[in-house]
Structure 1
Amino acid sequence: MLTPWLSPLPLVAILRGLRPDEAVATGRAIVDAGFRILEVPLNSPQPTDSIAQLAAALGNDVLVGAGTVMSPDDVAAVAAAGGRLIVMPHADVTVIRAAKASGLLCVPGVATPTEAFAALAAGADGLKLFPAEQAAPAVLKAWRAVLPRDVPVLPVGGISPDNMAPWVAAGAAGFGIGSALFAPGRSLDDTAARARAFAQAWRDLAT
């Protein structure tokens, strides 16, 4: 189930470009701000090494996984590294089924209702509305009128602490946060401050 991981703070840290030598320190800084889901995209340097380190250091309390997962072979590599979450930019049902067959949670990227329903039929645990810049809260509101109520939809792309409110009002269950949170070369203190700002923005919405 994805929901228990989203409940404390429904923000996914997308750590594109993370290096293994900085993985644990970066993960701890973000988790200290309240995040409980960490995603290392597979187009990062040595991504499975970072996933393995994060899973070993934080895996009891944090859902660690991979993004930009493109094939069943990728799913197997993530599972072997100790990852428990598969996030995709697309809705390839063969990848979704491979993730579920491996006992992993899966959040595919979808841009249309047709993709959304096909992904759910294949076993998706949630939906990544991607890229969010291509859509709008009004689009999500229309989706929410027909999607099952218990399916979390997380917009990804262009999300900042200042623009979450309209999406939440339209039915977003949370968000994936990428370069606005972490980017290669950014200081650990800067990343930690950004993580706290996102967490506070969510809490402000919830009050």
Structure 2
Amino acid sequence: MSLAQFSTPSSSFTFLPPPPVTAPPPSLRCYNSRPSISTTSRSSTTLTNILNSGVIACLRAQSADVALEAARAAISGGISVLEIVVSTPGVFEVLHQLAQDFPNTTLGVGTVLNTKDAENAKNAGAKFIMSPAIVKGIMDQDTDDLLYIPGVMTPTEILSSYSDGAKIVKVYPISAIGGVQYIATLKKPFPHIPMVASQGITTDSVGAYIDKGAAAVILSDAIFDKKAISQRNFNAIYQLAQLAAFQGNEAVKRKRSTPANFMETCVF
């Protein structure tokens, strides 16, 4: 998608409200059957929101004001799950403001590497945090109110994280270790473990990842295009977010319409 399509200045553009999220019909709803996890906990609700979305928008910016406006554009474009990378200046203040402005959006912090940042994220209103690896100090904490998504790469790391209490894992860096086919291979022994595919994913491959078993994908530059960010072209970000949200929603609906695949999107 060319940014030449998005020449309308953001000052003259009115964001439209995001489309409503449609719940699956009663006959296709899935419920948490893992005894140790409460279906009413905040973290379980967050996980359900991620599974329903199919797309997690990942934002990193060079300033707090750009981060805030870019996030608003993406959410207005239909993004319902968004993470802000912890290296973004003023990340916790930005998160706190977004949590007030968009209370129904599932907001989180990415690249969290220590318990201090995890606690700050929680206090700022984050509903989930994400790491590029397994941070034991965070894994050991009570995460009933805050969903922790550790980064994994190998089958051993996936099973270890899940056994230690992770409800969902992030397979990273996916494009360097096999892409769609790697996810498909991992789901064979671990159909019960929700996996987020992360790194180098484009909007046009969202459907392929979810079709092959990913619970959701993380989109970074595919939504927060570097040129658009540098030019403060928030209209472009809105349009890219709209396309990404559509692709995610369509892929999730398609997967749930197939009985053989539906249980892969459930929480266990």
TM-score w.r.t. the length of structure 1 is 0.88
Choose the corresponding residue for 2:87, options 33, 40, 43.
Answer: 43
* Structure having the higher Rg: 2
Choose the corresponding residue for 1:196, options 224, 239, 242.
Answer: 242
Give the 3 Å change call, closer, same or farther, for CA 77–3 of structure 1 in structure 2. Answer: closer
> How big is the alpha-carbon RMSD for the aligned residues of Structure 1 and Structure 2?
2.0
The match for 2:20 is none
The match for 2:217 is 175
The match for 2:117 is 74
Determine helix, strand or coil for the equivalent of 1:162. helix
Q: Distance in 1 between matches of 2:128 and 2:190?
A: 22
Structure 1, 4-13 or 19-28: larger mean CA deviation: 19-28
The match for 2:202 is 160
Q: Does 1:12 align with 2:59?
A: no
Report if aligned partners of 2:61, 2:67 keep a CA contact under 8 Å in 1.
no
Q: Does 1:121 align with 2:167?
A: no
Report if aligned partners of 1:86, 1:105 keep a CA contact under 8 Å in 2.
yes
Determine helix, strand or coil for the equivalent of 1:140. helix
Q: Distance in 1 between matches of 2:250 and 2:130?
A: 27
Choose the corresponding residue for 1:98, options 141, 164, 189.
Answer: 141
Letter in 1 for 2:74: I
- Runs of 4+ aligned structure 1 residues displaced above 4 Å come to none
Report if aligned partners of 1:99, 1:105 keep a CA contact under 8 Å in 2.
no
Q: Distance in 1 between matches of 2:48 and 2:216?
A: 13
Offset at residue 71 of structure 1 (A): 0.6
The match for 2:127 is 84
Unpaired segments ≥5 residues, structure 2? 1-43, 255-268
> How many residues end up aligned between the 2 structures?
204
Offset at residue 4 of structure 1 (A): 2.4
Give the 3 Å change call, closer, same or farther, for CA 153–198 of structure 1 in structure 2. Answer: same
Report if aligned partners of 1:42, 1:68 keep a CA contact under 8 Å in 2.
yes
Letter in 2 for 1:194: L
Determine helix, strand or coil for the equivalent of 2:143. helix
Offset at residue 93 of structure 1 (A): 2.4
Q: Distance in 1 between matches of 2:75 and 2:52?
A: 11
- Counterparts of 1:42-61 in structure 2, within 5 Å, are 42-58=86-102, 60-61=103-104
Offset at residue 166 of structure 1 (A): 3.0
Report if aligned partners of 2:184, 2:213 keep a CA contact under 8 Å in 1.
yes
The match for 1:30 is 74
Q: Considering Cα pairs closer than 8 Å and 6+ residues apart, tell me whether 1 or 2 has the greater RCO.
A: 2
Offset at residue 188 of structure 1 (A): 0.4
